[in-house]
Structure 1
Amino acid sequence: MSESPLKVSLERDGMLLRLTLARPKANIVDAAMIAALQSALTEHLPKPKLRAVLLSAEGPHFSFGASVDEHMPDCCAQMLKSLHALVLQLVESPVPVLVAINGQCLGGGLEVAAAGHLLFAAPGAMMGQPEIKLAVFAPAASCLLPERIGQAQAEDLLFSGRSITAEEALRIGLVTAIAEDPDKAALDYFDKNLASVSASTLRFAVRAARGDAMQRIRAKLAAVEKMYLVELMSTHDAVEGLKAFVEKRPAVWQDR
């Protein structure tokens, strides 16, 4: 598939970078999507006029998550390292990252979204980290969600793998607002609140708000990535869960 998985445009006279996941309906966060996002952010984030990024997706769903095939033991190290580099790029973005969520936003898709700053969700949106159901865990979400929604709420989502509605996500502070058209709501927020402020001072405000959280997430992510690759992927059940998903059959746990 040669067509880019990501649409990139500068809008609002160069003040807004719009990034649109463009492989509906699943918008899988695979190696190609990760590379396209990293490339666009690397190119445009340093521009002094830029005031925000708007991350959205084509089709009925934001993202079904990362590629399970790329999670298999022989290739998961490269996939995790690139996904985590992207997550850190978003966490450490010098300008606010606004995220517009429709439909399903799961797994690696929610990790990418949760690395942003302000999330706007449609009323029917569903968010979750279902990795535990495949006998793996979500390294980036394990670092991001406690910072965003507190330890107890994060543990609920990470341990159960359940999906939550936009309304519950709003109640626990995962999303900023619910809107019939989250893309428009994010644009309206930009126009009303960010377009008129000093771009240089906004960058200081973002750094000040996220400074210690950025350091915690970076350090913890390195540790849990190592746990995932060295410890988890040497267990029977983690490999069995991924294989069973790919082979479309029930997994057989040996609890080891």
Structure 2
Amino acid sequence: MSDDGLISGTTDEVLYEVRDKVAWITINRPERRNAMSRHTVQLLVKAFVEAEEDRDVWAVVITGTGDKAFCAGGDMKEMNSIAKAGRQVHTPMTGEYRALLEVMLETYKPVIAAINGHALAGGCEITLASDIRIAVAGATIGLTEARRGMGANFGSVVLPRLIPRAQAMDMLYTGRMVPVEEAAEMGLVNKVVAREDFETEVTNYVASIVANSPVSTRRYKEMATKSWGLPVSSALRLNVGPNPYTSEDRAEGVAAFLEKRAPVWKNR
């Protein structure tokens, strides 16, 4: 349990658990199809900050409770109540609400979205802010904001950078719910897995990541994130994140290879 009570039971909107070097962050509002209230967003930010700061966490998985939805986006009932009260619904990239997707991008550890059900609107954007997307068969993914007069601020910028522009604009303009099988063909989803194998597949996949040096994977994430959009000549000279070339993990990795044993990483 964290000191601030983030992890305190099944009634929490966001669950946080670390096991085998992996932080598992779970949106826990199945009665609302894991839609995000303002409080949910705040808890997700805390969870990702905690994972980023914990040296014993080498990778992060974000998922949802149940088998209906990964995350249905923002809580529409809450938005409606705010509007009826004459108050302004928040605008992306302003105030405290600017943080979640930026925090995810700036969590310099592998972030895997385990898409256990439909991932729509803000839920889709969470998957776009992740590095790897593994989806359960039969789920859909989509930026449905145009159907509700909203903006998909993050998705409209990031999606055309992840898949061909024409496919991205089709998803944005139509607001359609794309089957994850089709999303995999686009390259948007890495893997589609049957429901009965989903948890095992995700666990095994993440284990294959944390078997590697966390110095290397952090370096990859930080370089890939901070060099995005830079010319290659500039990106190659960026040199951000931990330096694996001078690390103890590099010495250990070489020694383990020569001694034909599994490496014991120190994350330094």
Of all paired residues, the percent bearing the same amino acid is: 26
2:87 to 60, 74, 82: 74
Determine the C-alpha separation between the residues in 2 that align with 1:114 and 1:210: 13
Alignment of 1:126-165 (within 5 A): 126-165=140-179
Q: CA RMSD in A?
A: 2.1
Equivalent position SS for 1:76: coil
Aligned equivalent of 1:50: 57
Could you give the per-residue CA deviations for residues 66-125 of structure 1, whole angstroms, max 9, x where no partner exists? 123437483322676444410011112100111111221101111112100100001111
Letter in 2 for 1:170: A
Are the aligned partners of 1:28 and 1:65 in contact in 2 as well (CA < 8 Å)?
yes
- Tell me: higher relative CO, structure 1 or 2? Use CA pairs within 8 A at least 6 residues apart: 1
Higher Rg:
2
Q: Greater helix percent: which structure? A: 1
Q: Is the 8 A contact 1:106 1:129 kept in 2?
A: yes
1:35 aligns with 2:42: yes
Change (3 A) 1:183 1:98: farther
* CA displacement at 1:136 relative to structure 2: 2.3
Q: Which whole-Å CA distance do the structure 1 matches of 2:97 and 2:183 have between them?
A: 23
**Residues 83 and 152 of structure 1: CA distance in aligned 2, closer, same or farther (over 3 Å):** farther
- Determine helix, strand or coil for the equivalent of 1:207: helix
Match of 2:210 among 179, 187, 195: 195
Query: Would you say the 8 A contact 2:13–2:27 is kept in 1?
Result: yes
- The aligned counterpart of 2:115 is 101
Contact 1:56 1:62 in 2 (8 A): yes
Number of residue pairs the alignment of both structures matches: 211
The gaps in structure 2 that reach 5 residues or longer are 1-9, 231-268
CA deviation after TM superposition for structure 1 residue 200, in Å: 1.8
- The answer for the alignment partner of 2:12 in structure 1 is 4
**Using the alignment, how far apart are the partners of 1:63 and 1:152 within structure 2?**
25
Q: Which runs of 4+ in 1 moved over 4 A?
A: none
Contact 2:34 2:70 in 1 (8 A): yes
2:178 corresponds to 1:169: no
Aligned equivalent of 1:119: 133
